Chain A
Amino acid sequence: DAKTTQPNSMESNEEEPVHLPCNHSTISGTDYIHWYRQLPSQGPEYVIHGLTSNVNNRMASLAIAEDRKSSTLILHRATLRDAAVYYCILRVYNTDKLIFGTGTRLQVFP
């Protein structure tokens, strides 16, 4: 299974943008890049996903490098509620199996 590498932790101040990086150098051409986050005492929550092009939704933006070996999750204005563990996941085409790493713990300060 293809793997992802993320920093263990990051910090941000409230209302500032946050860029969460992810490396996935062994990604194959058909793997989708998914991001989930997990708030304390909750199950993981879907954030965004993409294949090749940058993606935007109401929660975040996903910037994918041209060679697809890395990606960045962008939270445009961090809030205290965004404090969570963020997981970058490669989802193999045509399967539902998600391979989680240890993720990045994001702390947001007022």
Chain B
Amino acid sequence: DAGVTQSPTHLIKTRGQQVTLRCSPKSGHDTVSWYQQALGQGPQFIFQYYEEEERQRGNFPDRFSGHQFPNYSSELNVNALLLGDSALYLCASSYRRTGDRQPQHFGDGTRLSIL
């Protein structure tokens, strides 16, 4: 049973470029959340997708956008890259239901470096 998979594992971009990161959720999961983790910090919530729509969003600018596909996989897009966007980007999946939400399962992330 494959867990959450993310691609690519590492990526180097320059300022002003655009990047797309990909995530496949754990089998049976239908909800995907994205987090940004700067060096030495805890992950910060970017947004969450369920039923192909953005359901919740953290304090991130519109340069950060996403998409969820019918097979529940997801993409994170970042436009006009800044040096400060250098971070580990984590994808987490879960099975959505009301009340006591199921734990989130994280991938090992994509390390994005901006030059």
Which A residues are closer than 8 A to B by beta carbons? Answer: 32, 34, 41-46, 49, 51, 85, 87, 91, 93-103
A83 and B71 alpha carbons, distance in the complex (Å): 36
A91 and B105 alpha carbons, distance in the complex (Å): 15
Known: A98-B33, A102-B42. 15 other contacts (CB 8 A): A32-B101, A34-B103, A43-B107, A44-B90, A44-B92, A44-B106, A46-B105, A95-B101, A96-B33, A96-B94, A96-B104, A98-B35, A98-B92, A101-B42, A102-B40
Which B residues are closer than 8 A to A by beta carbons? Answer: 4, 31, 33, 35, 40-45, 48, 55-56, 58, 90, 92, 94, 96, 98-101, 103-109
Closest to B47 in A: A97
- Enumerate the 4 nearest inter-chain pairs by beta-carbon distance, A residue then B residue, closest first: A100-B42, A43-B106, A46-B103, A44-B106
B contacts with A: majority SS: loop
Q: Which residues on A sit within 8 Å (CB–CB) of B45?
A: 97-99
Select one of B43, B98, B99 contacting A44, CB under 8 A.
B43
A-B contacts, 22 listed (Cβ < 8 Å): A32-B100, A42-B108, A43-B4, A43-B90, A44-B43, A44-B90, A93-B99, A96-B31, A96-B33, A96-B48, A96-B56, A96-B101, A97-B48, A98-B43, A98-B45, A98-B92, A99-B45, A100-B42, A100-B44, A101-B42, A102-B41, A102-B42
